[in-house]
Amino acid sequence: MLTVMKFGGTSVGSPEAIERVAKIVAGTEGKKAVVVSAMSGITNFLVGVCKDVPGLREETLKTFEEKHLAVANALFQGERLEAFMKDFTPRLEAFRAVLYDDDARLNDPYYVDNVTSQGERFSSLLLSHKLQDMGIPSVALTSEDAGVTAVGRPLNGEGDLAACGRNMGVNTALVIAKGIVPVITGFYGVTADHHVLTFGRGGSDYAAAVVANALNADMLEIWTDVDGFMSADPRIVKGAVKIDEMTYAEASELAYFGAKVLHPRTIEPVRKKHIPLKVRNSFKPEEPGTLISQFRKPKNELLRSVAAKTDLSILTIGSPEIAYRPDITAKILSKISENNDAIYSISTSLSTLAVLIHNNDVKDTLKRLNDLEDSDVERIDVTADMALICCVGDNLMTTVGVSGEIFGAVKDAQANVNMISEGASAVSLNFVVPMDQAMAVVSALHHKFVEE
Ligand code: ADP
Ligand code: ASP
Ligand code: MG
């Protein structure tokens, strides 16, 4: 039995948290591989640093060093502290070299990936040394050491699952076979030409899923700071409740459309190998958490969980002939997708095509659409600052009156619906409202279907 255990930023954010996590690892039966995030706040700090690297180099190193050494000094003494420092000092020097590499800063498109990946390189050292201090054989592995291979554009990488399987099958599997617990850096992988490539913010969940896939794990556990996958974001909805069981389809829809408890792509790598995933609370290890797998016990909950994806824009593209010339739809969509930006929803009418994309992608998308012939595209309207509401529930496609019930709650929140996507997924019903009304809509839906 091999369990891949991922611990998020708050779970490794203090000496007490690291001790708690080390006990969880120690108490887990069978073989284990651990994946960690940076300590909470560190990645945000590094993102800030990137905006002014030459100015802040020494200050950055000092703050960074102090934050990690404060935790190390609270956790370790004597020989253990010395052993920790032996690993810590060269890593800090390597970080220094990155900050002073002006050539890379100016010319390497993956420079920000490299700087922001630094947090995980140090949290993994802290946890691995804590495990060793408890007598558990452990080694801290960077994604480079472990063989986590990535492909894609800067800040938006994905795991190369085949290459990860080949590389980790040699490097990491051997470590595990010897009964040593590897503590692997989350958040990033390495490209074939040795660039550091991050998986997007919150990417350690996804990194752990890639590791689980590569090692053919029996279980992936995502340890975080809430009791499991909940019926809504507990920061928005006070009455949110924990869900016991979900399917891959349900969890992936919600994660993709805004449930920040899992990185949007976490489910893909584990679903491919039918590896069950649990979301658990590292502050309450006695709680069973949420089990996510292919199937679950049937329930009859119209709405099981609701999420909101914010900062989106609707492009409404007018073309009088769309209905008669399907090639126009194809041309428009291929222009929009040229840069590989996400399209969150599509809807058509006789003479318009509405496409939902991220606010940040609008400018470049409009530029590309400008290349199309005037006879193909007559006009484009942009409605910015929209939010997509994703409702996941049972029998959404087969229950008469579901939409009426759901949109009734939206009406109660006095929100206007700008776009609807229903029928595309058997497990979810999505619609778009103005962003400033999204939280009211989520609360109204949750109140009507979950709390009442
Ligand atoms: P970590 O650092 O462990 O990765 P994150 O902050 O990324 O933790 O994710 C956990 C947070 O996700 C929770 O504290 C919670 O506020 C938020 N969240 C949003 N939607 C949900 C949901 N549906 N269920 C549980 N938590 C959610
Ligand atoms: N440390 C990274 C971030 O803050 C990755 C993660 O926490 O999942 O985005
Ligand atoms: Mg996270």
Is 355 in a helix, a strand, or coil? strand
Ligand nearest to the CA of 13: 1
* pLDDT attached to residue 325: 86
Low-confidence ranges of the chain (pLDDT < 70): none
Ligand nearest to the CA of 7: 1
* pLDDT attached to residue 113: 98
State whether the beta carbon of 235 lies less than 6 angstroms from ligand 1. Answer: yes
pTM above 0.85, yes or no: yes
Instruction: Give nearest CA residue, ligand 1 atom 20.
Output: 233
Instruction: Give nearest CA residue, ligand 2 atom 6.
Output: 202
* pLDDT attached to residue 87: 98
* pLDDT attached to residue 423: 74
* pLDDT attached to residue 394: 87
Q: Give 40-70 pLDDT, tens digit per residue.
A: 999 999 999 998 888 889 999 999 999 999 9
State whether the beta carbon of 124 lies less than 6 angstroms from ligand 2. Answer: no
Ligand nearest to the CA of 261: 1
* pLDDT attached to residue 398: 80
Mutational pocket test of ligand 1: of 226, 236, 267, the residue with most ligand atoms within 8 Å of the beta carbon: 226
CA 222 – ligand 2 centroid, Å: 13
* pLDDT attached to residue 354: 96
CA 368 – ligand 3 centroid, Å: 33
